[in-house]
Chains A and B, each alone.
Chain A
Amino acid sequence: MSPVVNNLLNVVLILVCVVFGAALLTWLERRLLGIWQDRYGPNRVGPFGTLQIVADMIKLLMKQDWVPPFADRLIFIVAPAFAMFVVVAAFAVIPMAPGVGVVDLNIGLLFFLAMTSLGVYAVMFGAYASDNKYAMLGGLRAAAQMVSYEVFMGLSLMGVVMLAGTFNLRELVLAQADGWFIGPQIVGFFIFFMAGIAESHRTPFDLPEAEHELTAGFHTEYSGMKFAMFFIGEYVSVLMSAAMITVLFFGGWLGPAWLPPLGWFLLKTMTLVLLMILIRGSLPRPRYDQLMTFGWKFMLPLALINLLITSALILI
């Protein structure tokens, strides 16, 4: 196999797996939420309801492709595509196993941070283009929330970077051969985990779409496949957060040889995904001001203290 074919195969396979994985995640989440809420969840279509996503897909594809007459048509259409694009692009730098991964960048971590920061544009575009007061409020909340949480998201990773001395994600994984960074960087992990949930605006940080107050927030006016792209985009970003945590704190694909490296990677990622779903199933949504207070007054100082202590320890 020539390297070009190999690379192409890598790209296509990862893209397909990520998207379908995210789609499957919608089923998984609904099933798990069902179980934790003492009900069944979708269990009718296919074995254990796994084909529910096919049914959903058909439904979403068959829906009328509706653009409200008052919407800014171009931006309205671009926004969900952009939302999908940034998270999938961020996936490009994630090393899943030796030889599995789209691209190996020296500044992989920074690329990841850059891409997730762009995600806010999709939300704001969608909100702005909808010309709807709920969407507008959702968009404003999303922008403030993502900008706030971005700050300590980056800071929380700097501890890892200092320990490994690189921005290259593969090298970061390999640097954990002696011990996962979860140990020394437990605080960094905690902060990044929270920020990851906030970045993918999931409960308890789903204020941009808080359906009890804002109908559906920034995607109030969206339906059909355009809605699906926002929706799947959210799950891709869940996967991405989990994969990134695996890479940064849980030693990526490293593990005893009774599982292949990719197997270890997937296992760790899925466990983190389960944790995220459990959080969604358990924790209530805070008030908006509580969210901002939590971000700026607790998480940011915590990230800075973590950074201070880490660098102090390294210097010593």
Chain B
Amino acid sequence: MKQKTGLGHYIYIVWDYFYSNIVTLVKVASHTFTKADTVEYPEQMPYLAPRFRGRIVLTRDPTGEERCVACNLCASACPTDCISLQKTEDESGRWSAEYFRINFSRCVFCGMCEEACPTYAIQLTQDFELAEYERQNMVYEKQHLLIDGPGKHPDYSFYELSGKAVSGRAKGAGTQEAEPVNLKSLLP
């Protein structure tokens, strides 16, 4: 494209710049008379979208057992590395977290942990009021994170589908599981 030169063009550019700036000024100034989009929190609670990502909780499955199986995927997905946990196992073979710690002073509420969680255990809630006077109090342990209900996906139970034998659910008793193979059978 041929570059335009000459005084006329120069004046045009100057005018264009000034014109656009002045329009901006006028438009901004016109906002003096518009209503504020923000609300006066805390007197008035703002609207929180259903997928709002706030304080993280650990949920329980429909039978009331902890959903978290301490697989560590949330921790590895976490971009700020603010989740740490240690696996432990009870006599029935159920995995759970010995400790589960979230350092909320580092958490950015990105929800990657929730996305990574294969058991729907870790979920982000609507609560964002996490202020503390002591930074140390921002470190949440498992007892602070665990809630009594299932949260989202209320019917999901990981061990129902895992094929692993845990208390009350023997091999083959889960959903879509066949009876355990009988080695002594001679049938074809």
B134 CB within 8 Å of chain A = no
A40 CB within 8 Å of chain B = yes
One of A34, A38, A278, A298 near B34 (C-beta < 8 A) = A38
Asked whether, in the complex, the Cβ of A282 is within 8 Å of the Cβ of B32, the reply is: no
Q: Which residues of chain B have C-beta atoms less than 8 A from A177's C-beta?
A: none
One of A37, A38, A278 near B29 (C-beta < 8 A) = A278
Given known contacts A35-B31, A36-B31, A37-B31, A282 and B25 CB-to-CB distance under 8 angstroms: yes
A255 CB within 8 Å of chain B = no
A263 CB within 8 Å of chain B = no
Q: Which residues of chain A have C-beta atoms less than 8 A from B14's C-beta?
A: 298
User: Beta-carbon contacts of B23-36 to A below 8 Å, as 1s and 0s?
Assistant: 01101110110111
Interface size, chain B (Cβ < 8 Å): 15
Asked whether, in the complex, the Cβ of A35 is within 8 Å of the Cβ of B32, the reply is: yes
B90 CB within 8 Å of chain A = no
Asked whether, in the complex, the Cβ of A38 is within 8 Å of the Cβ of B25, the reply is: no
A21 CB within 8 Å of chain B = no
B86 CB within 8 Å of chain A = no
Q: Which residues of chain B have C-beta atoms less than 8 A from A40's C-beta?
A: 36, 38, 40
Measured CB to CB, the nearest residue on chain B to A32 is B32
Measured CB to CB, the nearest residue on chain A to B23 is A282
B-facing residues in A260-294 (Cβ within 8 Å):
278-279, 281-283
A212 CB within 8 Å of chain B = no
Q: Which residues of chain A have C-beta atoms less than 8 A from B24's C-beta?
A: 282-283
Q: Which residues of chain A have C-beta atoms less than 8 A from B38's C-beta?
A: 38-40
Asked whether, in the complex, the Cβ of A278 is within 8 Å of the Cβ of B40, the reply is: no
Q: Which residues of chain A have C-beta atoms less than 8 A from B29's C-beta?
A: 36, 278, 282
B90–chain A nearest beta-carbon distance, Å? 50
Q: Which residues of chain B have C-beta atoms less than 8 A from A298's C-beta?
A: 14
B37 CB within 8 Å of chain A = yes
Asked whether, in the complex, the Cβ of B40 is within 8 Å of the Cβ of A283, the reply is: no
Given known contacts A279-B25, A283-B21, A298-B14, A36 and B40 CB-to-CB distance under 8 angstroms: no
One of B21, B27, B37, B40 near A38 (C-beta < 8 A) = B37
A281–chain B nearest beta-carbon distance, Å? 5
Interface size, chain A (Cβ < 8 Å): 13
A-facing residues in B15-55 (Cβ within 8 Å):
21, 24-25, 27-29, 31-32, 34-38, 40
Measured CB to CB, the nearest residue on chain A to B37 is A38
Asked whether, in the complex, the Cβ of B28 is within 8 Å of the Cβ of A39, the reply is: no
Asked whether, in the complex, the Cβ of A282 is within 8 Å of the Cβ of B40, the reply is: no
Q: Which residues of chain B have C-beta atoms less than 8 A from A39's C-beta?
A: 36-38
Q: How far is it, in angstroms, between the C-alpha of A97 and the C-alpha of B52 when the chains are bound?
A: 57
B17–chain A nearest beta-carbon distance, Å? 9
Measured CB to CB, the nearest residue on chain A to B38 is A39
Measured CB to CB, the nearest residue on chain A to B34 is A38
User: Beta-carbon contacts of A15-36 to B below 8 Å, as 1s and 0s?
Assistant: 0000000000000000000111
Q: Which residues of chain B have C-beta atoms less than 8 A from A283's C-beta?
A: 21, 24-25
B6–chain A nearest beta-carbon distance, Å? 16
Q: Which residues of chain B have C-beta atoms less than 8 A from A37's C-beta?
A: 31
Q: Which residues of chain B have C-beta atoms less than 8 A from A278's C-beta?
A: 25, 28-29
Q: How far is it, in angstroms, between the C-alpha of A36 and the C-alpha of B34 when the chains are bound?
A: 8
Measured CB to CB, the nearest residue on chain A to B27 is A282
User: Beta-carbon contacts of A26-70 to B below 8 Å, as 1s and 0s?
Assistant: 000000001111111000000000000000000000000000000
Measured CB to CB, the nearest residue on chain A to B21 is A283
Asked whether, in the complex, the Cβ of A38 is within 8 Å of the Cβ of B28, the reply is: no
A residues adjacent to B (C-beta < 8 A):
34-40, 278-279, 281-283, 298
Q: List 20 A-B contacts (CB under 8 A).
A: A35-B31, A35-B32, A36-B28, A36-B29, A36-B31, A36-B32, A37-B31, A38-B34, A38-B36, A38-B37, A39-B37, A40-B36, A40-B38, A40-B40, A278-B25, A278-B28, A281-B28, A282-B27, A282-B28, A283-B25
**7 pairs of A and B residues whose beta carbons are closest in the complex:** A282-B28, A39-B38, A38-B37, A282-B24, A36-B31, A36-B28, A282-B25
Other A-B pairs, 20, CB within 8 Å; known A39-B37, A282-B27, A282-B28: A34-B36, A35-B32, A35-B36, A36-B29, A36-B32, A37-B31, A38-B31, A38-B35, A38-B36, A38-B38, A39-B36, A39-B38, A40-B38, A40-B40, A278-B25, A278-B28, A282-B21, A282-B25, A282-B29, A298-B14
